Structure 1
Amino acid sequence: MSTVRARLTPEESRSAALEAARTLLIEAGPQAVTLKAVAGRIGRTHANLLHHFGSAAELQAELARYLSDRITAAIGDAVVRARTGDADPREIVDRTFDAFGREGAGALAAWMILSGNKDALNPVLEAIHRLVDHLGQGHDDRPVHEITLWLVLAALGDSLLGAPMAAALGLRPEKARELARSHLLSSMGVAVDGARP
């Protein structure tokens, strides 16, 4: 009995491939995000994905772009809701740390840098810059750019070395996240218990 493959539009095929690549990234790390592995996940051929992406490096660059759009949208939403009092500001830190850790953005960024594919990070950096510029509008009294810099670097560092470093220092694995939460609240003029000072 033969199996019939569903016909997908080029856009549906690309979307399925990117979601499969994201899943592989989370499950097995950036080295697992190959054209062959992604093709196998979505029931397509290596040649089909080569047609859509051109190379494994381009697939990874598209994955970085895909992740950055998802990540910046989620973080932007958390910031807006925190500003209106509809969310705890700690959610901003949690979403950022989760994006770089659990979602694999930190490992993917490091992989791309170490493999010499630094230009592939440009869409990520541009997405963050657009978000920060948007969030900074009308909030000139807040150091949005500086907060973003230390928060992203803290989340990236934690995703790559946080747990082993915390263990080496005799600290809990989530200590960096807790410090980032406290620092964010302090920069917003909010006491750690949630009350304004």
Structure 2
Amino acid sequence: MAARKRLTPEESRSSALAAARALLIETGPQSVTLKAVAARIGRTHANLLHHFGSASGLQKALAEHLARSVCETIIAAVRASRAGLGSAREVVDLAFDAFDREGAGALTSWMLLTGNEDALDPIISTIHDLVDELAPDEADHGHGAQSIHHDTLTLVLMALGDALIGGALAKSLGLSRDSARERAAAMLEASLARHQQVA
């Protein structure tokens, strides 16, 4: 039997978060446990306990990991959109996919249901950092920074709501599955147009 490769603490943590993310997407947030993640990466429960402290700590670290990854992607997309290299719809799709296909919506609702609200702090903090990253461009234009805050709040709430009940709600209202994305893209396009007029 081959000796198990010794990982640095950072490699071990990164490997655990990748496995936790895969479990979240494949089988839902309830499956993101220290035992399941340890089994997936061939480590011991004690090893993960050392890195995360508890299942709650693992979920909090996963929330932070997901939020950072999502926000970095959205920042790049917004910058591209402002430079005329991408569309508002691409930004919207990235945000909606993060909450739906990447599991952030399910993880958020699971943490709320299990009373682990403080685990949402990294998501809120990272989204706030995203807004701060985007808002300086707007700071010289009066209400521009406030507009970015409103747009971000609306986009995140729409993406989260769509991930949780968008499919069923759209179907019951006789709307296409993409209706919420279309509305969000229209909102963002209007906001970008206002930004360009002021600039």
Q: TM over 0.5, yes or no? A: yes
Distance in 1 (alpha carbons) for counterparts of 2:75 and 2:22: 23
Alignment match, 1:123 = 122
| C-alpha distance in 1 between matches for 2:85 and 2:175 | 32
Moved more, 137-146 or 59-68: 137-146
More deviation in 65-74 or 134-143?
A: 134-143
| Percent identity of paired positions between Structure 1 and Structure 2 | 57
Residue 52 (structure 2) aligns with: 53
CA distance in 1, matches of 2:105, 2:185: 19
In structure 2, C-alpha distance between the alignment counterparts of 1:33 and 1:5, rounded to whole Å: 23
1:149 and 2:148 aligned: no
Kindly tell me the number of residue pairs found equivalent between the two proteins: 189
* From 189, 192, 195, the counterpart of 1:188: 192
| 1:187 Cα offset (Å) | 2.4
**Partner SS state of residue 86, structure 1:** coil
Matches within 5 A, 1:64-143: 64-140=63-139, 141=141, 142=144, 143=147
CA distance in 1, matches of 2:35, 2:178: 35
Q: Describe the superposition over 1:31-57 as per-residue Cα deviations: whole angstroms up to 9, x where unpaired.
A: 110111101110111111111111111
- Which structure: greater helix fraction? 2
Q: Is the 8 A contact 2:82 2:192 kept in 1?
A: no
Q: Give the conservation status (yes or no) of the 8 Å contact 2:60–2:120.
A: yes
Return the alpha-carbon distance in structure 2 between the equivalents of residues 69 and 92 of structure 1.
Answer: 15
Does the CA contact (< 8 Å) of 2:131 and 2:152 recur in 1? yes
* 8 Å CA contact 2:89, 2:182 repeated in 1: no
Structure 2 length-normalised TM? 0.91
The corresponding residue for 2:172 is 168
Using the size of structure 1 for normalisation, the TM-score is 0.92
Out of 50-59 and 139-148, give the one that drifted further: 139-148
Taking the aligned partners of 1:184 and 1:119, their CA distance within structure 2 comes to 30
Measure, in 2, the Cα distance between the counterparts of 1:151 and 1:38.
Answer: 31
Unaligned runs of 5+ in 1: 191-197
Q: Tell me the C-alpha RMSD between the 2 structures.
A: 1.2
Cα distance in 2, alignment partners of residues 180 and 157 from structure 1: 12
SS in 2 for 1:188: helix
Query: One-letter code of the match for 1:88?
Result: S
Deviations 1:128-172 (A, max 9, x none): 111101201131443100000110000000000000111111112
Q: Which SS does the other structure have where 2:78 is aligned?
A: helix
